């Protein structure tokens, strides 16, 4: 078991510097253009694929880093470059995590490579969980998966929303209800292969921030997929449902549902994304405060500015520490007895919103214009307290974990 450390080793430092260079040289120069265009930055994703960043091998290396710091380090550097473009580069990862968390070895080996494609023909994948009436309330999910035993096929019907890469993905991972009576415990995850009839893109959302990342509805109309596209297989599902039915009446041991298994694994990574955006805004504000003069001196000479920057840096470092702790715990198999994963996501997300708002304030009128990147960073930061579990949901998870009570 790797000991917890705050010092990156030489290999990690080399990867960090490589990612930082890509973020500075490729992502940042393109950030404003793709934010304005509100389109998937395919050329940037292809560049990432050519150098090996957008690939299964790269994320596998970071995911299996024994210290747990590979993924958060990578997320922070890429999102330091730009949140919208970075999310387009890493968005496929959520679908991949869905397969890793719930799939068999054969499914992992079959489907994850198809999510990425290759440098000459890059692909993306989508994880589809949220619905118009079921965001945080996953028990209200309506998308149904019905097994056709005669054909060994699953038939999916429903509408998913807020899906990153939804509709443009080569592979969609869809969470659906297989047993409505079990609520969130009656869910399962399915692979919808490329070009499957019945799957279509619904509304594409025009968003406040992360505009370079494609977000849309996914409509499923009598989508038939082979039985082997059920992640984990039917035998495992039947066993899990049987256990859930036995425990439903007694309120016994909690059985994780497919969507929550994915989100729990990814929350510290989202926290790292928020840290990257916050750090980027802080650095712009610090540089501006040291060079901008008013009344004959740099504005950082004023305590009102200097103290804000001190607080911003302190909060960023504290957020990173929480993210690293949760990531290390997850990798080394230590249980989140105090909801440490949710803690890291909550604090880092709130820090990103606060720090980017302070950066806009420090830049004054310039911070409100698109001539400076903090305006875009502030818009991007708003998503961290919303997606993959709102801040309110994180607080609920933490409170329930600490108290052992069914707080509502």
Q: What is the pLDDT of residues 260-279, one digit of tens each?
A: 555 666 799 999 999 999 99
**Residue 211 and residue 160 in one domain:** yes
Higher pLDDT: 52 or 6? It is 52
**Residue 310 and residue 360 in one domain:** yes
Mean pLDDT confidence for 128-155: 91
Determine, yes or no, domain membership for 233: yes
pLDDT at 397 over 90: yes
pLDDT at 247 over 90: no
Determine, yes or no, domain membership for 68: yes
Q: How far apart are CA 394 and CA 248, in angstroms?
A: 24
Determine, yes or no, domain membership for 4: no
- Model confidence over 303-335: pLDDT tens digits? 999 999 999 999 999 999 999 999 999 999 999
Mean pLDDT confidence for 130-145: 87
Higher pLDDT: 259 or 58? It is 58
> Which of the listed residues 99, 122, 145 is the one where a domain comes to its end?
122
**Residue 159 and residue 91 in one domain:** no
Tokens of 159: 């509408």
> Which of the listed residues 248, 267, 287 is the one where a domain comes to its end?
248
Q: Residue 104 sits in a domain of what CATH number?
A: 1.10.540.10
Count CB atoms within 10 A of the CB of residue 370. Answer: 10
**Residue 182 and residue 295 in one domain:** no
pLDDT at 192 over 60: yes
Provide the percentage of residues in the chain whose pLDDT is more than 90: 87
> Which of the listed residues 73, 89, 122 is the one where a domain comes to its end?
122
Pair 248, 177: CB distance under 8 Å: no
**pLDDT given at position 3:** 85
pLDDT at 232 over 60: yes
Mean pLDDT confidence for 345-374: 98
Q: How far apart are CA 301 and CA 286, in angstroms?
A: 12
Low-confidence winner among 132-141, 187-196, 245-254 (lowest mean pLDDT): 245-254
Determine, yes or no, domain membership for 99: yes
**pLDDT given at position 319:** 98
**Residue 95 and residue 187 in one domain:** no
| Domain extent for 60 | 10-122
Q: Residue 310 sits in a domain of what CATH number?
A: 1.20.140.10
For the chain, the average pLDDT equals: 94
Determine, yes or no, domain membership for 267: yes
**pLDDT given at position 183:** 86
Q: How far apart are CA 320 and CA 350, in angstroms?
A: 13
**Residue 101 and residue 152 in one domain:** no
Q: How far apart are CA 169 and CA 347, in angstroms?
A: 31
**pLDDT given at position 4:** 87
Pair 350, 319: CB distance under 8 Å: no
Contacts of 250 (CB under 8 A, 6+ apart): none
Tokens of 25: 């040289």
Pair 349, 306: CB distance under 8 Å: no
Which residue is catalytic, options 221, 264, 388, 392?
388
**Residue 241 and residue 273 in one domain:** no
Q: Residue 236 sits in a domain of what CATH number?
A: 2.40.110.10
pLDDT at 259 over 80: no
Q: How far apart are CA 41 and CA 219, in angstroms?
A: 24
**Residue 290 and residue 316 in one domain:** yes
**Residue 149 and residue 46 in one domain:** no
Counting Cβ atoms within 10 Å, is residue 5 exposed (0-12), middle (13-18) or buried (19+)?
A: exposed
Mean pLDDT confidence for 226-237: 97
User: Does the annotation mark 340 as catalytic?
Assistant: no
Tokens of 61: 């290396």
Radius of gyration in angstroms for the set of CA atoms belonging to the chain, rounded to a whole number: 22
Provide the percentage of residues in the chain whose pLDDT is more than 70: 96
**pLDDT given at position 388:** 87
Determine, yes or no, domain membership for 216: yes
**Residue 296 and residue 269 in one domain:** yes
Determine, yes or no, domain membership for 163: yes
**Residue 311 and residue 284 in one domain:** yes
Determine, yes or no, domain membership for 94: yes
- Model confidence over 78-95: pLDDT tens digits? 999 999 999 999 999 989
Strand partners, 122: 117
Confidence grade of residue 2 (pLDDT, cut at 50, 70, 90)? confident
**Residue 153 and residue 66 in one domain:** no
How many structural domains compose the chain?
A: 3
pLDDT at 139 over 80: no
Helix, coil or strand: residue 74: helix
- Model confidence over 111-126: pLDDT tens digits? 999 999 999 999 999 9
Confidence grade of residue 255 (pLDDT, cut at 50, 70, 90)? very low
**pLDDT given at position 250:** 64
């Amino acid at each position: 078991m790797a000991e917890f450390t705050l010092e990156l080793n030489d290999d990690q430092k080399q990867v960090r510097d490589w990612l930082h260079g890509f973020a500075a040289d490729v992502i940042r120069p393109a950030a404003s253009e793709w934010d304005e265009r509100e389109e998937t930055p395919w050329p940037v994703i292809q560049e990432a694929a050519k150098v090996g960043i957008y690939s299964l091998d790269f994320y596998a290396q970071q995911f299996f880093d024994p210290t747990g710091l590979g993924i958060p380090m990578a997320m922070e550097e890429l999102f330091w470059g730009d949140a919208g473009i970075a999310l387009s580069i890493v968005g496929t990862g959520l679908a991949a995590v869905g397969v890793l968390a719930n799939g068999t070895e054969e499914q992992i080996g079959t489907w994850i490579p198809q999510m990425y494609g290759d440098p000459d023909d890059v692909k993306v994948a989508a994880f589809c969980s949220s619905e118009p009436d079921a965001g945080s309330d996953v028990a209200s999910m309506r998308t149904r998966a019905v097994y056709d035993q005669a054909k060994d096929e699953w038939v999916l019907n429903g509408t998913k929303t807020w899906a990153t890469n939804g509709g443009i993905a080569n592979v969609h991972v869809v969470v659906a209800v297989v047993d409505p009576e079990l609520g969130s415990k009656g869910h399962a995850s399915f692979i919808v292969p490329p070009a499957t009839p019945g799957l279509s893109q619904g509304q594409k959302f025009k968003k406040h921030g992360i505009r370079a990342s494609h977000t849309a509805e996914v409509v499923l109309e009598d989508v038939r997929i082979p039985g082997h596209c059920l992640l984990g297989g039917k035998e495992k599902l039947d066993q899990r449902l049987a256990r859930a039915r036995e425990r439903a009446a007694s309120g016994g041991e909690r059985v994780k549902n497919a969507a929550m298994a994915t989100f729990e694994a990814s929350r510290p990574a989202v926290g790292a994304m928020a840290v990257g955006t916050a750090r980027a805004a802080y650095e712009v504000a610090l540089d501006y405060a040291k060079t901008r003069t008013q009344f004959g001196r740099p504005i950082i000479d004023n305590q009102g500015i200097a103290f804000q920057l001190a607080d911003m840096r302190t909060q960023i470092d504290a957020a990173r520490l929480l993210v690293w702790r949760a990531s290390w715990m997850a990798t080394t198999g230590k249980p989140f007895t105090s909801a440490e994963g949710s803690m890291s996501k909550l604090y880092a997300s709130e820090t990103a919103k606060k720090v980017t708002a302070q950066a806009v304030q420090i830049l004054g009128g310039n911070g409100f214009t698109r001539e400076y990147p903090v305006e875009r960073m502030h818009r991007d930061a708003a998503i961290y307290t919303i997606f993959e579990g709102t801040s309110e949901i994180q607080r609920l998870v933490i409170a329930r974990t600490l108290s052992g009570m069914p707080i509502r």
